[in-house]
Amino acid sequence: METAIALVSGGLDSVVALAKGLEIYDVKLMLTFHYGQRAWPQELKASQAVASHYAISQRVIHLPWLAELLPKALKPKQSAFPQSELLEDSSLLGLPSSHNIDPAYTETAKVWVPNRNGVFLNIGAAIAEAYSAKIILFGANVDEAQGFPDNTQEYRDYVNQSLSYSTLVNVQVETPVGELTKAEIIQEGVRLGVPLEKIWSCYEGSEIQCGVCPSCKLLKTALASCDKPVSIAFGND
Ligand SMILES: [Zn+2]
């Protein structure tokens, strides 16, 4: 069985990507990134619950410099970091038009973190190579790809091309839910017995998922289209 590592935030996509990856890979390690996001305490709790559920070691990677670059929407309300100049300028918040971003997703531009997935995947590749793991499991999916060019299959393929030069063991990124919508990811999660009640997909760090942030909205819409009831609670229900 090929060895893999998984990038797991504790949200729906990365957790179901991990569960699907476990069907075919020996997943040695889960990486969880702490970059000053407001939801960190909840993401940590969710990802720890997932690591414990699947009995996989977890390593938390702290990226304090990335915390300085966060948009307001993701920062803790009492942030010690100054707002970055790049994201103060709202004209720079738009995503590149060359990637055909769905206009309905312009709201997600407000939660854009500069090169987040590029940074995560390259850190993951360095750690994978050191662990002699050739596969990185990554939770990109169809719904996120409409708003985020770094969730597309095209992006994954370019990263893999780049990693074939920057790693000696040819580490490759796999996106087990890359062709699925959120609703299909939930159905896969149910089929695989994923502890969906433990996930955290919300940008906020409240006790319960807020139900109104862009990530919660996508999740709620997907849940509404599911045949079976899934126990994911939201604050405004
Ligand atoms: Zn939310």
Q: What is the CATH number of the domain that holds 161?
A: 3.40.50.620
Contact 38, 76 (CB under 8 A): yes
What's the gap in Å between 196 CA and the centre of ligand 1?
16
Ligand 1 centroid, distance to 218 Cα (angstroms) = 10
CA–centroid distance, residue 39 to ligand 1 (Å): 9
What's this model's pTM, rounded to 2 decimal places? 0.88
Q: What does the mean pLDDT of the chain come to? A: 87
Q: How many angstroms separate the alpha carbon of residue 237 from the centre of ligand 1?
A: 12
Q: 92 CA distance to ligand 1 centroid (A)?
A: 24
Residue 106 lies inside a defined structural domain of this protein: yes
CA-CA distance, 20 to 38, in Å (whole number)? 28
**Among 234, 145, 220, 214, which residue's Cα sits nearest to residue 183?**
220
Highest mean pLDDT among 70-79, 142-151, 165-174: 165-174
pLDDT band at 98 (very low <50, low <70, confident <90, very high): low
214 CA → ligand 1 middle, Å: 7
The C-alpha angle with vertex 223 and arms to 9 and 73, in degrees rounded to 5, equals 45
Tell me, in angstroms, the distance from the centre of ligand 1 to residue 11's CA: 11
Q: Mind listing the pLDDT tens digit for each residue in 174-233? A: 999 999 999 999 999 999 999 999 999 998 888 899 998 888 988 998 888 887 778 888
- On whether residue 227 sits in a domain, the answer given is no
Q: Is 56 contained in some domain?
A: yes
Determine the distance separating the centroid of ligand 1 and the alpha carbon of 236, expressed in angstroms. Answer: 10
CA of 206 to the centre of ligand 1 (A): 9
**Distance between Cα 201 and ligand 1 center (Å):** 7
Q: Rounded to the nearest whole angstrom, what is the distance from the C-alpha of residue 116 to the centroid of ligand 1?
A: 19
User: pLDDT tens digits, residue range 40-50?
Assistant: 999 999 999 99
Number of domains in the chain: 1
Q: Is residue 212 part of a domain?
A: no
- What's the 165 CA to ligand 1 centre distance in angstroms? 38
Whether 98 maps to a domain, the answer reads yes
Q: What's the gap in Å between 52 CA and the centre of ligand 1?
A: 24
Q: Is 43 inside a domain boundary?
A: yes
Note the helical H segments in 22-140: 40-54, 64-67, 85-88, 116-130
207 lies in some domain: no
Residue span of the structural domain in which 164 resides: 3-195
Residue 229 lies in a domain: no
Q: Find the 57 Cα to ligand 1 centroid distance in Å.
A: 27
The listed range with the strongest mean pLDDT (69-83, 95-109, 114-128, 201-215) is: 114-128
